[in-house]
Amino acid sequence: QKEVEQDPGPLSVPEGAIVSLNCTYSNSAFQYFMWYRQYSRKGPELLMYTYSSGNKEDGRFTAQVDKSSKYISLFIRDSQPSDSATYLCAMIRRGFQKLVFGTGTRLLVSP
């Protein structure tokens, strides 16, 4: 079993839709949670950073962490074609600096 599970997609939505991306994890020691966006032929770009449980909002993006369920989510409101990319969840264990990634979910937003 992988430490971090993520549906690879692709997830296809029309412009303006609300997108929900999710990851589950198995190790309760994960304490720091991130979402990265990766465009084709580019490196991952940090999108959201959350410490422990709770919600964080930044513009059209909302990140949620539920440590009791070992489940994290990223919501994108009013999705745009420019949001088409691969979204990678990633997390770091308490006491460490190593980032562990999910597989990534490919999102396609059509005009």
Residue nearer to other proteins on the CB measure, 16 or 54:
54
CB of 76 to other proteins, least distance (A): 19
Q: What angle do CA 44, 46, 49 make, to 5 degrees?
A: 140
> Which part of the chain contacts other proteins (CB under 8 A), choosing from 12-20, 40-48, 61-69, 77-85?
40-48
Instruction: Give the contacts of 98 (CB within 8 A, at least 6 positions apart).
Output: 92
Q: Does 94 bind other proteins (CB under 8 A)?
A: yes
Assess contact for 27 and 92: CB atoms under 8 A.
no
CB of 46 to other proteins, least distance (A): 5
